[in-house]
Amino acid sequence: MSDVAINQVLAQMRSMAARASAPGEGETAAGPSATGEDFSSLMRQSLDEVNQAMQESRSMADAYESGSSEVSLTELMVSAQRASLEFQALTQVRNKLLDAYQEVMRMQV
């Protein structure tokens, strides 16, 4: 993977972090965005993105194992690590959601 590709990935990660930390136009901390996206659609989109990253990583691994010259070892390792990190982050979000749900269920009314 070239320096340009790494810089593009870093720039994408920084822009995603900036979007996640600051509410956008027409968005409040507790409400949906101006586009009408709700939490379930955002979670579905995140699940789909993680699934796609894992499938791409697996297809790159298959291509490398079959001896394809189009996939280098560094590209394969970066793809595998990226998919792994995305999966770990999604797992942590799920764990936090379950903790919050359990806390709400323990509340006395």
pLDDT range class, residue 96, cuts 50, 70, 90:
very high
Q: Two tokens at 14?
A: 């920084």
pTM over 0.75: no
The arithmetic mean of pLDDT across residues 22-36, rounded, is: 54
% pLDDT > 70, the chain:
78
Pull the structure tokens for residue 16: 């995603």
Spans of all domains in the chain: 3-12+37-106
Contact between 50 and 90 under an 8 Å Cβ cutoff? The reply is yes
C-alpha 31/C-alpha 38 separation (Å) is 8
Strands (E), the chain: none
- Residue-wise pLDDT tens digits, 60-93: 999 999 998 888 999 999 999 999 999 999 999 9
pLDDT at 34: 52
Residue whose tokens read 């699934």: 51
Q: Which two tokens stand for residue 35?
A: 């586009």
Residue 32 to residue 21: CA distance in whole angstroms: 15
